[in-house]
């Protein structure tokens, strides 16, 4: 490896690991005051509390995981046929439709959440997990469609036609031809949908009304409480699924290629 490339990789690794290392130290610090370079006293108090049943962290993690997984599945179910149509077919108003798909991404999350809040109140979706899932889809679906549209644009439609000519049923074509060909795009789209849902705070608190307690809401509450050790421990818990999804997708894409 060339020295310049090695330094660039080293800088990136240090930049990525520094916050994690600091959070790890903070989570184990009983007291740490300036200008001390290391905590004067160490304690596992924060981790004991985080994993205790009284903290409510495990319940918040479970709710966040369930919502994020459901959002990923629903985003894929909506995005695969939509991306296929956008990539393979020309129709009037296609560019307008693409612009409309980007609007939830371009608009401020607060504006999007406030825009649907009244509608959710009318139909009883406010302060429910179903409402939180739907509002997370507003941000997740556009990303998933755009990523999958890129995957479909690299797939020749004649491949499906050849499979049907050889007698494959529509289900067999989807299972053995289309899905394997766009699998990397599906993996990336699902990962983005999961991470977008996992990290949502503003939309969750506006639509969930504080009744749907996810990990970002719990993290915000502890951060406002001023306990740096517990906040650091919760931040690491919050980061773990993100790193796990990133590693899983990167390994899948590496083996796929």
Q: Which helix (H) or strand (E) holds 133?
A: helix 129-153
With contact defined as beta carbons under 8 Å apart, do 199 and 216 qualify? yes
DSSP code of residue 237: H
Question: First-to-last CA distance in the chain?
Answer: 22
Neighbours of 25 (CB within 10 A): 15
Tokens for 200? Answer: 């949502």
Taking 70 as the threshold, does the pLDDT of residue 1 lie above it? Answer: no
pLDDT in tens, 187-218: 999 999 999 999 998 889 989 888 899 999 98
With contact defined as beta carbons under 8 Å apart, do 64 and 216 qualify? yes
Tokens for 1? Answer: 């490896």
Looking at every residue in the chain, the average pLDDT score rounds to 86
HSE-CB at 16 with a 13 A cutoff on CA atoms is 8
pLDDT in tens, 37-55: 777 778 888 899 888 888 8
Instruction: Please tell me the pTM assigned to this model.
Output: 0.86
Domains in the chain and their CATH numbers?
1-43 (no CATH), 56-256 (1.10.3720.10)
């Amino acid at each position: 490896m060339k020295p310049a490339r090695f330094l660039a990789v080293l800088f990136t690794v240090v930049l990525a690991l520094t916050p994690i290392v600091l959070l790890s130290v903070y989570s184990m610090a009983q007291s740490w005051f300036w200008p001390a370079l290391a905590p004067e006293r160490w304690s596992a108090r924060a981790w004991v509390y985080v994993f205790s049943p009284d903290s409510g962290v495990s319940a918040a993690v479970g709710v966040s995981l369930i919502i994020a997984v459901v959002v990923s599945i629903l985003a894929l179910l909506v995005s695969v046929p939509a991306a296929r149509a956008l990539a393979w077919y020309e129709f009037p108003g296609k560019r307008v439709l693409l612009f409309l798909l980007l609007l939830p991404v371009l608009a401020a999350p607060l504006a999007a959440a406030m825009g649907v809040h009244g509608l959710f109140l009318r139909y009883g979706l406010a302060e429910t997990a179903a409402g939180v899932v739907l509002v997370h889809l507003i941000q997740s679906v556009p990303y998933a469609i755009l990523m999958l549209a890129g995957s479909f644009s690299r797939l020749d439609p004649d491949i499906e036609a050849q499979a049907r000519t050889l007698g494959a049923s529509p289900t067999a074509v989807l299972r053995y031809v289309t899905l394997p060909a766009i699998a990397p795009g599906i993996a990336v789209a699902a990962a983005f949908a999961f991470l977008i849902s996992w990290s949502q705070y503003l939309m969750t608190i506006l639509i969930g009304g504080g009744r749907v307690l996810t990990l970002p809401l719990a993290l915000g509450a502890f951060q406002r409480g001023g306990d740096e050790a517990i906040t650091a421990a919760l931040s690491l818990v919050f980061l773990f699924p993100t790193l796990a999804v990133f590693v899983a997708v990167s390994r899948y894409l590496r083996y796929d290629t």
